[in-house]
Amino acid sequence: MSSKTRNVVLASFVILALSLLVVFGFQPHVSQRFDGYRALEDVEYQVTLGPRIPGSVAHEQAVTWVAQSLRSTGWQVDIQETERLGKPIQNIIAKRGDGQPWLILGAHYDSRMLADQDPDPRGRDEPVSGANDGASGVAVLLELARVLPRNLDKQIWLVFFDAEDNGRIEGWDWILGSRAFVESLNNYPDGVVIVDMIGDMDLQIYLEANSDENLRQQIWQQAAELGHSDIFIDDVKHSMLDDHTPFLELGIPAVDIIDFDYPYWHTRADTLDKVSAESLQVVGETLLAWVISQ
């Protein structure tokens, strides 16, 4: 066999081998690119359902849609059904991989039933659309579910928390879903990242005072390496009660990624036009790179 013939045979073998890898799903340790515009479409869909108030039709539709979306991208999905303060809780839990570290990325999917921060007192009994406060975090997690590599040598959970956003309302309290979830844990994760209100057009994410310092440093450094230090600002500004709180109370490292300077918080103006694909992109690609690096 001539050297030219051997080269042709070798090239044909390589092409066939690569084709088989693609066909049978054996992919190299790479990820797709996070797509902020695709995430924005997920924000839009949630908003079209209407306010995702626990017990509402829109809430049930959101549960079904999130679970189906996750299963369609190869995640194992469980729905934790429990109750707090006599209210039903449905946490959506997606799992992939094994080994260490075990990382949880979380967001709440419910929306607030009263726009009690609305500048017009006549609208404060109306529900909140929750485009940024709720839908943006869900959208980032769903896009991460699509683009995270399937063969990571670590365990990843994506958790969509219920009943986070209705504190200061009679019969309710804040962060009911995450408290129920944490109480159900038999073992503790190595790190937890919560995303909340991270889609607004004028996005500025300051360090949250209660968050684990090591996790904060890692994620803010990752953002800086990607050129996002103007968004992930390396100064402490707010102290939050959020879905990271129950983890911190048990000594589990957790960080809250939140822009609490969002001017439309708990108002009727928290609508789709306030959310930016570019903001979703910055947060999503930062978390994607950070997870892969762990």
For residue 250, the domain's CATH number is 3.40.630.10
Whether residue 240 contacts residue 208, with contact meaning beta carbons closer than 8 Å, is answered with yes
Residues 104, 200: one domain?
Answer: yes
Q: Which amino acid is at 88?
A: P
Residues 20, 68: one domain?
Answer: no
Helix (H) or strand (E) holding 159: strand 155-161
Domain holding 130, by residue range, is 31-293
Angstrom distance (rounded) from CA 61 to CA 136? 17
The predicted pLDDT at position 31 comes to: 53
Residues 118, 171: one domain?
Answer: yes
For residue 225, what is the DSSP state? H
Angstrom distance (rounded) from CA 202 to CA 195? 16
Whether residue 176 contacts residue 89, with contact meaning beta carbons closer than 8 Å, is answered with yes
Query: Number of folded domains in the chain?
Result: 2
Judged by DSSP in three states, 45 sits in: helix
The predicted pLDDT at position 120 comes to: 97
Residues 279, 156: one domain?
Answer: yes
Angstrom distance (rounded) from CA 35 to CA 223? 16
Please, is 6 exposed, middle or buried when counting C-beta atoms within 10 Å of its C-beta (0-12, 13-18, 19+)? exposed
Residues 1, 138: one domain?
Answer: no
What residue has token string 């959208």?
139
Residues 5, 40: one domain?
Answer: no
Whether residue 157 contacts residue 123, with contact meaning beta carbons closer than 8 Å, is answered with no
Q: At what angle do helices 277-293 and 36-49 cross, to 10 degrees?
A: 120
**Tally of CB atoms within 10 A around 210:** 16
Residue 190 structure tokens: 């190595």
Residues 23, 159: one domain?
Answer: no
Angstrom distance (rounded) from CA 46 to CA 59? 9
- What are the beta bridge partners of residue 155? 102
Residues 6+ apart with CB under 8 A from 177: 84, 89, 90, 91, 108, 110, 161, 162, 163, 164, 243
* Cis bond upstream, residue 101 (ω within 30): yes
Helix (H) or strand (E) holding 283: helix 277-293
Q: What is the pTM of this model?
A: 0.89
Whether residue 259 contacts residue 242, with contact meaning beta carbons closer than 8 Å, is answered with no
Residues 5, 82: one domain?
Answer: no
Residues 24, 78: one domain?
Answer: no
Residues 53, 12: one domain?
Answer: no
* Tens of each residue's pLDDT in the chain, 294 residues: 454 444 433 444 434 443 433 333 333 344 589 999 999 999 999 999 999 999 999 999 999 999 999 999 999 999 999 999 999 999 999 999 988 999 999 999 999 999 999 999 999 999 999 999 999 999 999 999 999 998 889 999 999 999 999 999 999 999 999 999 999 999 999 999 999 999 999 999 999 999 999 999 999 999 999 999 999 999 999 999 999 999 999 999 999 999 999 999 999 999 999 999 999 999 999 999 999 999
Instruction: Let me know the angle formed at the C-alpha of 177 by 175 and 179, rounded to the nearest 5 degrees.
Output: 70
Residues 93, 151: one domain?
Answer: yes
Residues 99, 109: one domain?
Answer: yes
Angstrom distance (rounded) from CA 136 to CA 12? 46
